[in-house]
Structure 1
Amino acid sequence: MTENTQDMTVLVTGATGRTGSRVARAARAAGLTVRAASRGTGFDWEDPSTWAGALRGADAAYLVHPTDVGSPAATKAVGALAREAVELGARRLVLLSSRGEDQAGPTEEALRTSGADWTIVRASWFSQNFSEGPLVEGLCQGELVFPAGEVREPFIDVRDIADVVVAVLTGGGKYTGRELAITGPRLLTFREAVAEISRATGEELVYTPVTARQYGDTLAGFGMPAEEAEFLVDLFESLLDGRNAHLSDGVRNILGRAPRDFTDFARKAAAAGAWKA
């Protein structure tokens, strides 16, 4: 049963980001009071002194860390913020995690042991990573160079992630203490995804697979700190090894409908000018 959300206040971290902005929009549409948290509103994951002001008076929070969920920084911050949230009365916490990512285990465990009424949403690769994330620049120049080989991935639209998060927040205790795996409706290789974007834009786009090590060396050459580049090499070598080449029925089970398809995403993003150079 969906609980009455009239008086529920939810803190949305990353409120200007790919998922947080959609969670905030969907939560408002569902009747929740949204407290948008970002550096622009004075909230900083790296500055614990900013957390209490954001959490105080909230009933729940959506947690998405700006670094990868599997990073040591995410583990430390999520655990500390979750404990503070519980102390301040924001007991219902929803963490965005990554499906199939072994490195995310410590961060997930930090949430589980915080005393919160927790839910972990493990999402597959975002469709919007192609239109709003670090892959955009290459696509705008006509070529995506990425260490995904020909692995198949069930790309998920972040609007579905947002709808799932809101369903969790408004679901009473139905999803408390659960780990939810959510994906898109079909498997695509990165090459096939780029081909769909190419059709949507009418532009010739190329996918060039490289090894994770080659990709990491390129990032380091662009100035990324060596430790961060090495983390991404390890992440891509494991996460893009085919372990996620299967579908989950999480979206349908939670929302009662099919997840949005990649073709729909590509058409709408192209119409919005996502890949205009």
Structure 2
Amino acid sequence: MKSKNNILVIGGTGKTGRKVAQKLIELGHNVRIGSRLATPSFNWDNSENWTEAMQGIDNIYITFQPDLAVPGALDAIEELTKKAKSCNVKKLVLLSGKGEREAELCEQVIIHSGLDYTIVRASWFNQNFNESFLLEPILEGFVALPKAEVKTPFVDTDDIADVAVEALLHDKHNSKTYQLTGSKAITFKEAIEAIAKASNRNIIFTPIDLSTYIENLKQQGIPSDFVWLIEYLFSEVLGNPNNSKITNDIELVLGRKPIEFTDYTKETVKTGVWNPKKQIIIN
């Protein structure tokens, strides 16, 4: 019987981390959740407990909040890597962003750490439509977004988690960088139309320029660091034509096709998350 690993999942309650943790637990591995409320706790803003959280750990899945592109992320990844080496951690699997230049600097820290590693670069998550900043406007039935004409191959967090688990458990993924996308690139308008169809609702999509969108976020009282990140993602990441390119890395690693966006909408609508209090039914 194959020996079980001791794995720290940093961000173990987040979009991908909670799924990675659950899949590893189901496979019988020893999982330590890296979060502020865990014991020992893990807080990106306080490195004092990082060593304690990494004691006895073989491999680490790393997700940085809110994103590797934000100021301070590089310093944090450098410190984490040093502490991981001092704790005799064997392998790091880093969740990165596809097309994020700042995130690639963090990747280089991992790559040159001397530890085994896998880099998992992901396109925009499907789950941003039901677990993040896009949920509220969908519930309101009115979505206004910039870069309306840009096509994005949205990727599902279930696919990301499955790839991360494979990378954590198998040496054949060492020193590899995987770029994860869905099998089809669609616009935000097309994504909202798919959600409206699946939920049998009338959801209006309106293009908006980036400066107006950012100003609206500020007026809503959205935290400044999140506003910065959204502006960066829409201007630098979505504006990068390479990010519309589709890869076959999910199929390469998992031996199956990525989850289709329409299948994501069909499954998500079953949870009721897109049902407003007064639902508008399309005749």
What TM-score range do you get, normalising by the shorter chain? Answer: over 0.9
Q: Secondary structure at the match of 2:94?
A: strand
* Secondary structure of the structure 2 residue equivalent to 1:62: strand
Say whether residues 1:26 and 2:23 are aligned partners. yes
Q: Residue by residue, what CA displacement relative to the aligned partner does 1:29-76 show, whole Å, maximum 9, x if unpaired?
A: 233211111111021111101211111001000000112111122211
Q: Which secondary structure does the structure 2 equivalent of 1:120 belong to?
A: strand
**Change beyond 3 A, Cα 1:157–1:231:** closer
Which residue of 186, 189, 192 corresponds with 1:191?
Answer: 189
Cα distance in 1, alignment partners of residues 225 and 158 from structure 2: 32
Aligned to 1:273: 272
Alpha-carbon deviations, 1:175-228, whole Å to 9, x = none? 222211111111111111111100111111122222222222222223345565
Secondary structure at 1:93 match in 2: strand
Q: Which residue of structure 1 aligns with residue 237 of structure 2?
A: 239
Unmatched 5+ stretches in structure 2: 277-283
The count of residues paired between Structure 1 and Structure 2 equals: 273
Comparing 202-211 and 219-228, the one that deviates more: 219-228
2: CA distance, partners of 1:77 / 1:160: 26
Which residue number corresponds to residue 279 of structure 2?
none
SS at match of 2:72: helix
| 8 Å CA contact 1:75, 1:107 repeated in 2 | yes
Q: Percent identity?
A: 35
Q: Which residue of 206, 209, 213 corresponds with 1:208?
A: 206
The 5 A counterparts of 1:1-277 are: 4=2, 6-41=3-38, 42-172=41-171, 174-224=172-222, 226=224, 229-241=227-239, 242-277=241-276
1:235-277 CA-to-partner distances (Å, cap 9, x unmatched) read: 3112112331121000000011111111111111111011122
Question: So what's the TM-score if we normalise by structure 1?
Answer: 0.93
SS in 1 for 2:67: coil
> How many Å separate the matches in 2 of 1:199 and 1:14?
33
Return the alpha-carbon distance in structure 2 between the equivalents of residues 59 and 183 of structure 1.
28
Q: Which amino acid aligns with 1:220?
A: K
Structure 1 residues 77-130: Cα deviation after superposition (integer angstroms, max 9, x where no partner): 122112111110112000100111122122112222333212110011100110
Q: Distance in 1 between matches of 2:270 and 2:184?
A: 22
Contact residue 83 and residue 115 of structure 1 kept, 8 A? no
Paired with 2:257 and 2:226, the residues of 1 have a C-alpha distance of 36
Aligned equivalents of 1:227 and 1:51: distance in 2? 23
Q: Distance in 1 between matches of 2:217 and 2:110?
A: 31
> Partners of 1:225 and 1:130 in 2: how far apart?
19
Please tell me whether the aligned partners of residues 67 and 74 of structure 1 are also in contact (alpha carbons under 8 angstroms).
no
Distance in 2, matches of 1:49 and 1:107, equals 21
* Paired AA for residue 57 in structure 2: A
SS at match of 1:235: helix
- Partner of 2:12, secondary structure, is coil
CA distance in 1, matches of 2:237, 2:166: 27
Secondary structure of the 2:242 match is coil
- Structure-2 separation of matches of 1:110 and 1:224: 31
Distance 1:132 1:224, change over 3 A: closer
Answer yes or no: is the 8 Å Cα contact 1:83–1:116 preserved in 2: no
* Cα 1:156/1:226, change in 2 over 3 Å: closer
Please give the alpha-carbon distance, in whole angstroms, between the structure 1 residues aligned to 2:68 and 2:137: 24
SS of structure 1 residue aligned to 2:95: strand
- Which letter does structure 2 place at the counterpart of 1:193? A
Give the secondary-structure state (helix, strand or coil) at the position aligned to 1:26. Answer: helix
Query: What is the TM-score normalised by the length of structure 2?
Result: 0.91
CA 1:182–1:227: 2 relative to 1, 3 Å: closer
Mapped partners of 1:88, 1:232: distance in 2? 35
